[in-house]
Structure 1
């Protein structure tokens, strides 16, 4: 059975396959299947994962389980977060206050001092720095909020991408990222250089060369990668 065509019911308590109830069973809550074909479910015994045959993958039960990414899933045991592999085995001994999902072989975590960093597939930190917040990696880069409150981009070794800092920051999408300074939002390249001088109340990433922006006067516009207004909506 192809896990990719299994759907979650509208009630979020069962699985649907080709329009029919799968496993002939309803749960308290379910989340969708992820590679390698496992899904988080909750019943009276707690949260755990099942296979595409509806069979539990392991005997342990958790306060919460999440989907698998790179064959690793975040789980909560009381107030401790960590990752398990696709057999239900713990990946590492460290407990965290929060764990994200693996993206590009790396994962964001928060320790019990409320500091963020990234770990590798074995659970090892990939750098020594600690941050007030870190985001997921996309195309080799992640946004991090430094302890001084300013944002930067780092690469997948933990190196800073450039010498620029910002009040807020987005991931790179098709070579450009959203960024914010004291005057508002704009777009930057990988060197941290602005693409144009204008600032906006809100902006979206570029989509095939164009981005939606909101001016401080409440006007919604579409601009190109040079910042030229193409259309007012």
Structure 2
């Protein structure tokens, strides 16, 4: 049985394979299977993970569990967050107020004093700085919000990508990122330089060379990587 073909029921209480209920069990709640062939479930004993045969991976139960990413899953126990491996063992000793999912084998976390930063697979912090917020890494870079409210991109050593600060930022996608200044949203390159002079109310990342954006007067248009309008929606 291929985990990719296992579906969550419409009521999110059991799994289906080829349209038929499997495991002969209803849960309180189930989440979809992830790439390791493992899924989060909840029954009368609590939250835990099962394999593609419906068998629990471990004996422990949690207040909440989430899917596995890079063979690590975020869990909550007695109000604190941490990660476990596919055998149910804790990945590190530290406890956090919140943890994200591992992306590019690193993860963003929030400490008890509401500071954000990133950790590696062993729970070690990647750098000494602390932020008001830190997002997931994508293509080697992550967005962080400084204590002054401005945003920048950093690499996995915590170094600035280009030294540019913005009111808001998105992750890099195919060498371009979304950015916001006092006039609105636009796209930037890896050097933090704008691709065009226009500003928008909302924008999406470039999808195969084109981006859907919303103008200040609430019209939707599609632009290319030079900022040229190609379609009025």
Is TM > 0.5 for Structure 1 vs Structure 2?
Answer: yes
CA distance in 2, matches of 1:3, 1:117: 33
Match of 2:178, SS? strand
Paired with 1:134 and 1:201, the residues of 2 have a C-alpha distance of: 23
Secondary structure at 2:179 match in 1 = strand
Distance in structure 1 (CA, Å) of the matches to 2:123 and 2:32: 25
Once residues 5 and 137 of structure 1 are traced to their aligned partners in structure 2, the CA distance between those partners, rounded to angstroms, is 29
**Partner SS, residue 4 of structure 1:** helix
How far the C-alpha of 1:224 sits from its partner, in A, is: 0.9
Q: CA deviation at 1:135?
A: 0.7
Q: CA deviation at 1:204?
A: 0.8
Residue 88 of structure 1 corresponds to: 88
> What is the TM-score when the length of structure 2 is the normalising length?
0.98
Q: How many residues align?
A: 233
Question: What TM-score, normalized to structure 1?
Answer: 0.98
State the alpha-carbon separation in 2 of the partners of residues 206 and 37 from structure 1.
Answer: 32
* Partner in structure 1 of residue 108 of structure 2: 108
Aligned alpha-carbon RMSD (Å) = 0.8
Identify the residue that residue 140 of structure 1 maps to in structure 2.
140
- 1:59 CA drift (Å): 0.8
Question: Which deviations, in whole Å up to 9, do the C-alpha atoms of 1:75-101 show, x marking residues without a partner?
Answer: 000110000000000111110000000
Residue of structure 2 in register with 1:42 after alignment: 42
Q: Which runs of 5+ in 2 are unaligned?
A: none
Task: For 1:35 and 1:123, locate their aligned partners in 2 and report how far apart those are by CA, in whole Å.
Answer: 22
2:14 maps to 1:14 = yes
| Separation in structure 2 between the aligned mates of residue 218 and residue 51 of structure 1, nearest angstrom | 47
1:193 aligns with: 193
Query: Separation in 2 of the partners of 1:18 and 1:218?
Result: 44
1:54 is displaced (CA, Å) by 0.8
CA distance in 2 between counterparts of 1:51 and 1:209 reads: 40
Q: Which runs of 4+ in 1 moved over 2 A?
A: none
Residue 206 of structure 2 is aligned to residue 211 of structure 1: no
Aligned to 1:153: 153
